[in-house]
Chain A
C-alpha cells in the first residue's frame, strides 16, 4: 500500500506489516522490509539483531515504553489504529517522540481517517499508510487544516502562550 508523507506527497512504500499473530521464519524476513508486532520482535530480538530491514509496529493497547530501548536503532515504527475512534495511538505517538526520542519514521497504520491527519501530524506521525486510490490532494489539504495551534505538541514544542510574546 502507498504511504502519504506529512507534507502530503504520495510515496511508494516497501515496508509491509505482518499480522499480530504472525510467527515468520527468519528466512522469510531476509528479503524485503518488514514491520513485525512488538511482542514477536521482543521475543526474537537476539536473532533479529543487525537486521535493519525488520522493524516494529505497536497496537493501540501496547505501551510506548515497550520500545524504549529500541528507539535509537529502529528506522520505522508503526502505530495501529484498529478503529478511528480509538485515540490511544495519539498518546503513543507523542510518547515515542517526546519521551523516548524516536527520530525515525513514525507511521500511522490501520483505520485512522483523513480528518485525523492533522492531529496525527501534530502528535509526531510523519507517514500515513493509505489505501490505493486514496484522495491524495484532499488528504494533503486536511494535513494543513490549521496553520497555528494553542498547545505544545511534537510539531510545535512551544505552546502559543510562549510564542505570542515574541
Chain B
C-alpha cells in the first residue's frame, strides 16, 4: 500500500500542528464557533448527540496491521474501546474529547493516517472496491489512481469551501462494487480499442434527500488527463453550484438544472484551459503510484483445485465452516488464494462496530494470513484480501473465536446501517435496533441462504448514510410528530444495473418492521422462479404484489 515519504509526513504533521493551534484558539475564544465549525469538520470532527464524533480517513479502504494496532490503542485510550466502520470505508470514534483530538491526530500521523476532509464541504475520502487488486474480474487496479486523487484533493486550496460535500469513487471492474453511479463523480477505469487506459466519467449521482443516478459526461478520458479534468469539474461546480439552499447545493442539482450535456460542455470548455497545464500526469507519476501497489509475495504455482478440494472436504464434518466458505470467502485472481470477508454483522452488535481487542485480533490475523494488510468495505465489513486457500480452515477457527465468522456476507442479515438516532444528531429515528430486530427475525441461516443475495440498507434519516435508496430493500427512519416511523423502499441496486428503490407506501412503526420484512420476503419466495435473485423477481413482478401483501387488512 502507499507509503509516506518525507513530503507526506511533513504535510500531515503540519496539519496536526495547524489543528492543534486552531483548537487552542477556539477554546481560548479566539475563533467564533461558526468559524471553527468548518475547520473541525474538515478534520472529521462532528459535535453529536452525546459527544463529539471523529471520522478517521481510511484512504480507499486500505489499512495495515500497524495502523489497526494504533486504532486499537486510540479507541482504548481516548474513547470507550470501540469504533465503527462507515459506509464510505472510514472509521469513526463515538466518544473522543474535543481537547484531545489534536493528540489523536498526532498519534494517527505516526502511522500515516489522518482525519483530513472526512467531513465538511470539501472533497472527501476517495473510495473504491474492497477487492481492488485481487478481483478476478478486475480490468485495472484502481488504487494507484485513488492515491493520485487523494494527494491532489488533500488541502486543495481552491476547493475547500465548495457549495456542499463532494465524493469521488473509482471502480476498476464492470461489476462496480464502489457504487460509482451514486457519487458526485464516479470513475470507471476502462481500456479503449488501442488498449490505452482511461476513465468513463460520471457526474451528479448521489443519495440523500434527492437520490439521482449519475450521468456519463465522457466515455473515455485518458488516464494522464484525470487531474486536470477533475479540476475542471470542480471549478465549474465551485463557481456555479447553488449556495442559497443547502438542500439544493450538491452537484447533482446543478447537473440536473443545466442538463448533463450542457454540463459536459461547460467542463470541456474549462478543461481546454487546464488540460496542458502542469497537472497533466506524466507517465512516470502513474508508474510511481503503481509501484506502491505491487503484488505481494504470493506463492506461485499453487494448485487451486487441489487446495480447495482438501478445504472443501472439511465441509462435511463442519457445516458452519461450509457455510462460511460459501458466503464469506471470495474468488482471487491468483490460483491458491482467496479473499475473506470478516462479517461485522453479528446479531446484537451494531453493524460495523469493532472493539479495541477485535482490531488487534484482525491485525494479528492480517500479519499471519494476508501480508499484514486489511481493507474496510462500504458494506461495513472488513476483508483479508490475500489468504492462501490451504489456510482457510485455520483462519476460520480464529475468526469464529473472535466473532467475525458469521456466515452472512451478501445475505439479508448482512445489513448496511448508519449509526442512527442512538448516536447521530441528524437522525430522525434509530436504525441499529431495527437492524437487530430483522437479524433476530431471520435467525435461521439456512433459510437466509436459500433467499440468495439480498442487500438490506437502513438509514436513520434522509441524509441516507445507510444508502437506503440503493438497497434491494431500503429502510428509512422518519419522524412523525415526535414518533419514529420507518418507510420501506424496494428495488434499489448499487451495482452495474444501478437503480433507485421505489417507496412501498405509508411508513410503519418500529415493532411492525420485522413482520413487514417477513411479508416482503414471503412474496418474493412465492413468486421466485428457480434460483432467481430478489432483485430480479422484483424487476419481473413489480411493486404491486408486495404492496398488496404488506398493506392487506388483517382478516
> CB within 8 Å of B: which residues of A?
84-88, 90-92, 94, 99, 113-116, 118-120, 122-123, 135, 138, 141, 145-153, 157-162, 164-165
A114–B279 Cα distance when bound, in Å, is 28
The reply to whether B35 and A115 form a contact with Cβ atoms under 8 Å apart is yes
Separation of A86 and B288 alpha carbons in the complex (Å): 36
Measured CB to CB, the nearest residue on chain B to A88 is B239
Could you say which of B18, B22, B157 contacts A90, with CB atoms under 8 Å apart? B157
Return chain B residues, CB-CB under 8 Å to A158. 278
Known: A91-B235, A115-B39, A147-B10. A161 touches B288 (CB 8 A): yes
Chain B residue contacts of A91, Cβ below 8 A: 158, 235, 238-239
Knowing A85-B38, A88-B239, A115-B22, say if A159 contacts B162 (CB, 8 Å). no
Interface size on B, residues (CB 8 A): 44
Report the separation of the CA atoms of residues A48 and B279 in the bound assembly, to the nearest whole angstrom: 39
Q: Cβ of A151 and Cβ of B156 under 8 Å apart?
A: yes
Residues of B within 8 Å of A150, CB to CB, are: 11, 151-152, 154-156
**B18 to A: closest C-beta gap in Å:** 5
B121 contacts the other chain (CB 8 A): yes
Shortest C-beta distance, B273 to chain A (Å), equals 6
Residue of chain A at shortest CB distance from B152:
A151
Q: Residues 268-307 of chain B: 1 if any A CB is under 8 Å from the residue's CB, otherwise 0?
A: 0000010001110110110010000000000000000000
B444 within 8 A of A: no
Chain A residues with Cβ below 8 Å from B5 are 164
B161: Cβ under 8 A from any A Cβ = yes
Bound-complex Cα distance A113 to B282 (A): 36
7 tightest A-B contacts by CB? Answer: A87-B161, A122-B157, A119-B157, A150-B151, A161-B285, A90-B158, A145-B18
Which residue in chain B gives the minimum CB-CB distance to A81?
B161
| A115 in contact with B31 (CB, 8 Å) | yes
Interchain CA distance A135-B161 in the complex, whole Å? 23
Q: Give the distance in Å from the alpha carbon of A150 to the alpha carbon of B154 in the complex.
A: 7
Question: From B246, which residue of chain A is reached at the shortest CB distance?
Answer: A85
Interface assignment of B49: CB less than 8 Å from any CB of chain A: no
- Asked whether A146 lies within 8 Å of B279 as measured between CB atoms, the reply is no
Residue B54 lies at the interface, judged by CB distance under 8 Å to chain A:
no
CB pair A159–B279 under 8 Å, yes or no, is yes
Q: B residues within 8 A CB of A119?
A: 155, 157-158, 160
A-B contact pairs, 20 of them (CB 8 A): A86-B243, A87-B159, A90-B159, A91-B158, A114-B31, A116-B161, A119-B160, A120-B157, A123-B158, A141-B21, A148-B7, A148-B10, A150-B11, A150-B152, A150-B155, A151-B151, A151-B155, A159-B279, A160-B7, A162-B282
**Chain B residues with CB under 8 A of A160:** 7, 151
Q: Which residues of B contact A (CB under 8 A)?
A: 5, 7, 10-11, 14-15, 18, 21-22, 25, 30-31, 35, 38-39, 121, 148, 151-163, 227, 235, 238-239, 243, 273, 277-279, 281-282, 284-285, 288
- Among A87, A116, A145, A159: residue with most chain B CB under 10 A: A87
Inter-chain contact A90/B277, CB cutoff 8 Å: no
Q: Are A151 and B38 in contact (CB under 8 A)?
A: no
Q: In the complex, are the beta carbons of B277 and A152 less than 8 A apart?
A: yes
**CB <8 Å contact, B161 and A84:** yes
Most B-side CB within 10 Å, residue of A91, A123, A141, A148:
A91
Candidates A87, A88, A152, A165; contact of B278 at CB < 8 Å = A152
Q: Say how far B233's CB is from chain A's closest CB, in angstroms.
A: 12
Contact A149 B158 (CB under 8 A): no
List residues of chain A with CB within 8 A of the CB of B273.
99
Please name all residues of chain B whose beta carbon is closer than 8 Å to the beta carbon of A145 when the two chains form the complex.
14, 18
Evaluate whether A87 and B160 lie within 8 angstroms (CB atoms) in the complex, with A113-B35, A146-B11, A147-B10 already known.
Answer: yes
| Residue of B with least CB distance to A93 | B158
Nearest opposing residue in chain B for A158, CB measure = B278
CA gap between A118 and B157 in the complex, in Å: 8
Q: Point out the residues of chain A lying under 8 angstroms from B153, CB to CB.
A: 151
A87-B160, A115-B22 known; A147 vs B243 contact (CB < 8 Å): no
Contacts of B21 in A (CB 8 A): 141
Residues of B within 8 A of A148 (CB): 7, 10-11
Q: How far is the CA of A10 from the CA of B288 in the complex (A)?
A: 43
Contact A146 B151 (CB under 8 A): no
Query: Whose C-beta in chain B lies nearest to the C-beta of A153?
Result: B157
**From residue B282, how far is it (CB to closest CB) to chain A in Å?**
7
Cα(A162)–Cα(B148), bound, Å: 13
Are B238 and A87 interface neighbours, CB within 8 A? yes
Looking at A123, A138, A150, A164, the one whose CB has the most chain B CB atoms below 10 A away is: A150
Assess the A149–B11 pair: CB atoms within 8 A: yes
Bound complex: CA of A34 vs CA of B284, how far in Å? 49
Assuming A141-B21, A165-B284, is B161 touching A86 (CB within 8 A)? Answer: yes
Contacts of B151 in A (CB 8 A): 150-151, 160-161
What is the CB-to-nearest-CB distance from B341 to chain A, in angstroms, rounded to a whole number?
33
By the criterion CB–CB under 8 Å, are A146 and B152 in contact?
A: no
Pairwise interchain contact A138-B25, C-beta atoms closer than 8 A: yes
Q: Would you give the shortest CB distance from A153 to chain B, in whole angstroms?
A: 5
CB of B17 to closest CB in A, whole Å: 8
Distance from B9 Cβ to chain A, minimum over Cβ atoms (Å): 11
CB distance from A166 to the nearest CB of B (A): 12
Once bound together, how far apart are the Cα atoms of A147 and B158, in whole Å?
Answer: 17
> In the complex, how many angstroms separate the beta carbon of A106 from the nearest chain B beta carbon?
14
Distance in angstroms from B469 CB to nearest chain A CB is 28
The distance from the CB of B154 to the nearest CB of chain A, in whole angstroms, is 5
- Knowing that A91-B238, A115-B22, A118-B157 touch, tell me 5 more A-B residue pairs with CB under 8 angstroms: A85-B161, A87-B159, A151-B279, A159-B279, A162-B278
Q: Considering the chains assembled together, what is the distance between the CA atoms of A153 and B235 in angstroms?
A: 13
Q: Which residues of B are found within 8 Å of A138, using beta-carbon distances?
A: 25, 30
Nearest chain A CB to B250's CB is how many angstroms away? 15
Q: B156 touching A135 by the CB < 8 A rule?
A: no
CA distance A113 to B42 in the complex (A): 15
The CA-CA distance from A153 to B161 in the complex, in Å, is 16
For B22, what are the chain A residues with a Cβ–Cβ distance below 8 Å?
A: 115
Q: Which residues of A contact B162 (CB under 8 A)?
A: 87
8 Å CB contact of B155 from A86, A94, A99, A149:
A149
Query: How far does the alpha carbon of A123 sit from the alpha carbon of B156 in the complex, in Å?
Result: 10
